[in-house]
Structure 1
Amino acid sequence: MYPIILLSVLGVVTLFLGFSKSKNVLLPSVLFFLIVALAGNFIEWNQGPLLYFYDMFRVDNLTLAFNGIVLVSAFMIVAISGGFRDNSDSEPAEYYALMLFSIVGAIMMIGFEHLIMLFIGIEILSVAMYVLTGSNKRNLRSNEAALKYFLMGAFATGFILFGITLIYGATGSFKLSQIQSFVTITNTAAPSYLLYAGLMLLLIGMLFKVSAAPFHFWTPDVYEGAPTIFTAFMSTIVKTAGFAAIYRLLDHSFGSAYSFWGIVIAAISVLTLVVGNIGAAGQSSFKRMLAYSGISHAGYMLIAITAFTRPSENAIVFYSIAYSLSTICAFAVLMLVSKEKTVEGQPFEHYDAFNGLSKKNPLLAFVMTVSMLSLAGIPLTAGFWGKFMVFSSAAERGIIWIAVIAVLMSTVGIYYYFRVIIASYLKEGNLIQIRIAPFYQIILVVATFITLLLGLAPGLLEGII
């Protein structure tokens, strides 16, 4: 509860800081605000489950763990934003305030105990992201991305609302606990088709938010058109909140209806894996590759939800940590490298931008290499153990066939992730030595270190929930 209150107030404070004559105060202030929110988040550790806001919001260790991932990811993204000094037309206070408000929406999605709370959280998060996607007003790609994201997001919102309506019509309640009681009773008698229809519509809208196929079509264009810093925000924080919300919905309300939704989620996870990996393999743009990569990783996390065992919780949390660290580092390096060359006034974001990166910028090459290895699931990185946990949960459920497909798709991922490593170390390029701010370097080094540390000692997070 504390992060919601703190970030709501501090978001307004950030807007007022925009009136100050010196813009340099904004970046350290927002970083401090996020640290305060992170500290407030863990005050209630091991005290739950607690209910707030008329029992509409639930705080337990799972909620706090996902909140921590979101807040740490936000801290890293804000730290590499550089105060938005590269854009003379930017209004940093507005951008930072929108980011803080969107985190409030993400936290509401993570801890909802009432479907109305879920809807409010989704809309707070989504509306902020629509604005940030189109924040580069002079860039036609950014404008197009914002329009696509808004129109398709509004369409997905319709599915969510209709689904919530049908669930309420079937159960007479918006509360997860009461819905769970109804589902348990009806499963022992006769299934409620109205309830199942509502669940499917609600899942369609939520799967759109996490870029699961076949609801992924917006992802490559929006990721490519949005400013890279906000693409990093979208691909990590939005995805983490989305999967936390999906897992909570199914675990706290529809667990006894697993025989119905388990088949659907299994089919979507396989389709998402195939679409994401095959799509990524055919890209020449590194940024679009990361978009399809995000789709494929949504498929891996859906496998953990499909398994729906006790290890699934730990698998989703650990996978979210590994994915967020590697993805933010990859986007951070891309932001630095792409500025060195422009094409038609736009940053050069193709694979060729990394040619010869290791010659003059060994730190950036190393950070990118570790990120790609982790995303590919190579041993001694956090990504390897994330996938291992996902596959283990699938094996415990007995759905070995999904694990086999996921392993095959992982081999495809090795191809497109290693293209960046090959370009960095084995190809010739004309990149100059890139100047990196000290704090920027610290963020990259710490994130890379944690990725390797969790790869060597994954037990550090064992029993965290």
Structure 2
Amino acid sequence: MYPIILLSVLGVVTLFLGFSKSKNILLPATLLFLIIALIGNFIEWNKGPLLYFYDMFRVDNLTLSFNGIILLSAFMIVAISGGFQDNADSEPAEYYGLMLFSLVGAMMMIGFEHMIMLFIGVEILSVAMYVLTGSNKRNLRSNEAALKYFLMGAFATGFMLFGMTLLYGATGSFELSQIQGFASNMQPGSQSYILYAGLLLLLIGMLFKVSAAPFHFWTPDVYEGAPTIFTTFMSTIVKTAGFAALFRLLNTSFTNIYSFWWIIIALIAVLTLLVGNIGATSQNSFKRMLAYSGISHAGYLLIALTALSRPSENAIVFYSLAYSLSTICAFGVLMLVSKEKTIEGQPNEHYDAFNGLAKQNPVLAFVLAVSMLSLAGIPLTAGFWGKFFIFTSAAERGIMWITVIAVLMSTVGIYYYFRVIIASYLREGNMIKIRIAPFYQVILLIATFLTILFGLAPGIFDNLI
């Protein structure tokens, strides 16, 4: 509860700091606010479960773990934002304020115990993302991405609300515990069909938020059109919050009708893996490849939801952390390289922009290589153990066929992740020495170090949740 209150207040403070004559204060102030929120997040560690806001919000170790991941991710993303000083038309106070407010929405999604709390959280997060996606007002690609994201997001919200309405009609409550009680004592009849329909529609709305196929069509265009710093924010924090909400929803309310929905989630997971991995192989843009990569990683996380067990709970937390660290590194390097290698005044986000990176910028090449290895699931990286834990949870549930498909799709991922490593180390290019702000470099190295650390010692967080 503390980080929600803190970020709500500090988001307003950030907006007022925008009236100051110097914009330089905004970046350190926002980083300080995120550190305060991160410290406040763990005050209630091992004190839960606690219920707040008329029992609509639940705080337990799982909630705090996901909160910690998104706060750490937000800190790193803000740290490499550079204060938005490259754009003369930018309003850093608005951007930082929206980012802080969006974190409030993400935390509501993570800890919701009532459907209304989930809806409020989704809308707070989504509206902030719509605005940030179109923040580069002079760029037509950014405007197009924001419009697509908004229109498709509005449709997804409609499905989600309709699903909540049907669930209320079937159970008479928006509370997860009440819905769980109804589902456990449900008798065959008309109300059961309403419950099933409501759950399906609610899942459609939520699966849109995490870029699962076939609700993924917005993802490549929005990721490509949005300013890269906000794409990084979107691909890590929104995905983490979305899967945390899905896990809480299914694990709390619908375990008793697992036989109904697990095969649906499993088929969507397989489709998502196919679309994400096959789509990524045909991309020439590194940024669009990361968009399809994000789709494929949604498929792996859906496998953990299909298993829905204690091991899958730990797997989702670990995988979310590993994916966030690697993605921040990848986008962080992309922002530096694309700014130096432009095409007709626009950042060059293609693979060939990385040609010869290792010769002139060995640190950036190393950071990029580790992030790609982790996303590919290569041993001695956090990404390997993230996939291993997910595959193990599915195998323990007895769903071997989906594990086999996921392993095959992981081998496909090696192809497109290694393309950028080959470009960096083996291709010749006119790469120049890129100047990196010291703090920027420190953040990338810390994320890389954590990726390797969790790859060498994946049991650090065992039994904490």
Both structures adopt the same fold (TM-score exceeding 0.5): yes
Deviations 1:406-454 (A, max 9, x none): 0000000000000000000000011110000010011011110010011
1:458 correspondence with 2:461: no
Shift of 1:227: 0.1
Asked if the contact 1:17–1:93 (Cα under 8 Å) also holds between the matched residues in 2, the reply is yes
Compared CA separation, residues 392 and 176, structure 1 to 2 (3 A): same
In structure 2, how many angstroms separate the alpha carbons of the residues matched to 1:109 and 1:40?
A: 18
Asked if the contact 1:187–1:257 (Cα under 8 Å) also holds between the matched residues in 2, the reply is no
In structure 2, how many angstroms separate the alpha carbons of the residues matched to 1:450 and 1:84?
A: 26
Q: Report the counterpart of residue 139 of structure 1 in structure 2.
A: 139
In structure 2, how many angstroms separate the alpha carbons of the residues matched to 1:104 and 1:407?
A: 36
Shift of 1:41: 0.4
3-state secondary structure, aligned to 1:58: strand
Alignment of 1:1-400 (within 5 A): 1-186=1-186, 192-400=192-400
Give unpaired runs (5+ residues) of structure 1: none
Compared CA separation, residues 190 and 389, structure 1 to 2 (3 A): farther
Shift of 1:345: 2.2
Deviations 1:28-78 (A, max 9, x none): 000000000000000000000000000000000000000000000000000
Shift of 1:344: 2.7
Asked if the contact 1:179–1:253 (Cα under 8 Å) also holds between the matched residues in 2, the reply is yes
3-state secondary structure, aligned to 2:186: helix
After TM superposition, where is structure 1 displaced by more than 3 Å over at least 4 residues in a row?
187-191
In structure 2, how many angstroms separate the alpha carbons of the residues matched to 1:406 and 1:251?
A: 23
In structure 2, how many angstroms separate the alpha carbons of the residues matched to 1:57 and 1:47?
A: 15
Q: Report the counterpart of residue 447 of structure 1 in structure 2.
A: 447
Normalised by the length of structure 2, the TM-score is 0.99
3-state secondary structure, aligned to 1:51: strand
Shift of 1:188: 8.0
In structure 2, how many angstroms separate the alpha carbons of the residues matched to 1:345 and 1:449?
A: 34
In structure 1, how many angstroms separate the alpha carbons of the residues matched to 2:413 and 2:152?
A: 28
Deviations 1:191-240 (A, max 9, x none): 70000100000000000000000000000000000000000000000000
Asked if the contact 1:213–1:271 (Cα under 8 Å) also holds between the matched residues in 2, the reply is yes
Shift of 1:190: 8.3
In structure 2, how many angstroms separate the alpha carbons of the residues matched to 1:244 and 1:15?
A: 29
Deviations 1:253-282 (A, max 9, x none): 011110001010000000000000000000
Identity %: 83
- Considering only aligned residues, what root-mean-square deviation do their CA atoms show, in Å? 0.9
Shift of 1:342: 1.6
In structure 2, how many angstroms separate the alpha carbons of the residues matched to 1:75 and 1:276?
A: 28
Asked if the contact 2:213–2:272 (Cα under 8 Å) also holds between the matched residues in 1, the reply is yes
Alignment of 1:397-408 (within 5 A): 397-408=397-408
**2:57 corresponds to which letter in structure 1?**
F
Q: Report the counterpart of residue 423 of structure 1 in structure 2.
A: 423
Question: Please, which moves more after superposition, 294-303 or 336-345?
Answer: 336-345
**1:302 corresponds to which letter in structure 2?**
L
In structure 2, how many angstroms separate the alpha carbons of the residues matched to 1:330 and 1:247?
A: 27
Shift of 1:189: 8.3
Q: Would you say how many aligned residue pairs link Structure 1 and Structure 2?
A: 465
In structure 1, how many angstroms separate the alpha carbons of the residues matched to 2:344 and 2:444?
A: 29
Asked if the contact 1:187–1:256 (Cα under 8 Å) also holds between the matched residues in 2, the reply is no
Compared CA separation, residues 429 and 187, structure 1 to 2 (3 A): farther
Asked if the contact 2:170–2:191 (Cα under 8 Å) also holds between the matched residues in 1, the reply is no
Normalised by the length of structure 1, the TM-score is 0.99
Shift of 1:464: 2.0
Give unpaired runs (5+ residues) of structure 2: none
In structure 2, how many angstroms separate the alpha carbons of the residues matched to 1:343 and 1:230?
A: 21
Shift of 1:462: 1.1
**2:353 corresponds to which letter in structure 1?**
A
Q: Report the counterpart of residue 435 of structure 2 in structure 1.
A: 435
**1:192 corresponds to which letter in structure 2?**
S
